[in-house]
Amino acid sequence: MSQPAIRLEDVSFAYEKEKVLEDISLTVDRGEFLGIIGPNGSGKSTLVKLILHLLKPQKGKIEVFGESIEFLKDRSVIGYVSQKANTFQRGFPATVREVVASGLYGKLGLFRWMRKQDWEKVDQAIEQVGLTSLAHRNMGKLSGGQQQRAFIARALVSDPQLLILDEPTVGVDAKSQEQLYELLTHLHQQKQLTLLLVTHDIYSILSVVDRMACLNKRLLFYGTIDEFAKHDQEILSQLFGEGHGTLSITLSKGQKQLV
């Protein structure tokens, strides 16, 4: 049987003395779309940084595609779009195409010339996110949502098997958010990409993810959307406190819809 895309076993992490994550165990299967939600400061970004090996856990094991994250040979299997991706400085002198091409540097080495086929990959990634008409525009002249999509293209250009997005909808208007979820659904369903999405936007992700992880230092819930729907009130008040609006979810034949 193939190894899961991500496996965390009893992972704990503290910044100096402040415990941020305690005993987190979860598995993300290949091709799965996992949503991670939790209140501010609940450790979501820290969890992502541990999976990216930007931080090292004090306790526990992290594996990506069956390899311990410390020894992962090909880091280009993971694409990452960070929380700050859509706060690009207006005057930054780089076009969409150049920014997307920078996603290949890790694979090519910084000083190797881009070949024709590398630029083709760049253009394909730009097309995938629907930015072809803006490929030569300066990044600083794009809207937050367009910048976000350019950063997704940069993450996609090296053909990752796992794409991690940390709060991609922050500061992005409603229409761009909708387009972003359509794009993620396409990448999940048509390209069988494994996706991990950190968000505050619980209402939108319920219709796109397969499983949910609800985090507040500890994992308070980890399961399918159907399981979540059975206990949504209890889980949400544990996460965000009493009085959080309740959700009503209809599930039929894979169609997940909020009503």
Ligand X SMILES: Nc1ncnc2c1ncn2[C@@H]1O[C@H](COP(=O)(O)OP(=O)(O)OP(=O)(O)O)[C@@H](O)[C@H]1O
Q: Which residues bind ligand X (CB under 6 A)?
A: 15, 18, 20, 38, 40-46
**Residues 6+ away with beta carbon under 8 Å from 189:** none
Is the CB of 15 or the CB of 111 nearer to ligand X? 15
- Nearer Cβ to ligand X, position 15 or 113? 15
- Minimum CB distance to ligand X smaller for 64 or for 214: 214
Least distance to ligand X from the beta carbon of 185, Å? 23
Give the residue from 249, 155, 239 showing the smallest Cα distance to 197.
Answer: 155
Q: How far is the CB of 41 from ligand X (least distance, A)?
A: 4
Smaller CB distance to ligand X: residue 130 or 144? 144
In angstroms, give the least distance from the CB of 40 to ligand X: 4
Q: Helices 144-156 & 116-128, crossing angle to 10 degrees?
A: 130
Could you tell me the smallest distance in angstroms from the CB atom of residue 13 to ligand X? 9
Q: Are 212 and 238 in contact (CB under 8 A)?
A: no
Q: Which of 251, 191, 192, 205 is nearest to 29 (CA)?
A: 192
- For the CA atoms of 9, 81, 189, 239, what is the dihedral angle to 10 degrees? 50
For the four alpha carbons of 202, 203, 206 and 208, in that order, the dihedral sign comes to negative
- Give dist(CA 3, CA 152) in Å, integer: 25
Tell me the closest approach of the beta carbon of residue 125 to ligand X, in angstroms: 27
Is there a contact between 136 and 97 (Cβ–Cβ < 8 Å)? yes
The distance of closest approach from Cβ of residue 2 to ligand X in the complex, given in angstroms and rounded to an integer, is: 30
By C-beta, is 47 or 153 nearer to ligand X? Answer: 47
Q: Which is closer to ligand X, CB of 42 or CB of 148?
A: 42
Identity of the residue, 157 or 163, whose beta carbon is nearer to ligand X in the bound complex: 163
Q: Minimum distance from CB of 44 to ligand X (Å)?
A: 4
